[in-house]
Amino acid sequence: MKMRTMKVEIDGKMRDVFVFEGMWEYISYYGSDITHYALDPYPFRGEKIIVAFRPINDEDFSTRSSDMLEIDSSYCQYVNWGEDDYCMIPEADLEAEFWTVYEWDGIGGYNSTGAIFQTEEEARKEV
């Protein structure tokens, strides 16, 4: 299942809903702002580091499990990470884990480069 648009009744109105194959396709389509995370600088001072994260654990990421739909034999849930669109991904992919690279900012902390990788191996190539 690749991303596609479906008409779904939401709050009494027919709306376009983007249905994504999974979390990776969703964050690749919209991008995400993971640059706001701060890390404790110890013991990594002065190095690039790789950090795993799950979008579902972000305070700005939300789901609506009450409105799940079965699409192509998968139960899909509405998700939102700040976009204005209605989006769904398979429930089984909500816990997907991704990686980003953090760089020392030179003044006491680490900041994400903003790049997101699907595998740890891909992220390691950036370090």
Distance, in Å, from the CA atom of 21 to the CA atom of 15, rounded to the nearest integer, reads 19
Q: Which domain holds residue 112?
A: 4-124
Would you say the pTM of this structure is higher than 0.85? no
Q: Give 68 or 33, the one with higher predicted confidence.
A: 68
Q: Which range has highest mean pLDDT (29-38, 60-69, 88-97, 109-118)?
A: 88-97
How many CB atoms are closer than 10 A to CB 104? 17
Least confident among 20-24, 37-41, 51-55: 37-41
Count of domains forming the chain: 1
Coil, strand or helix: which one is 46?
Answer: coil
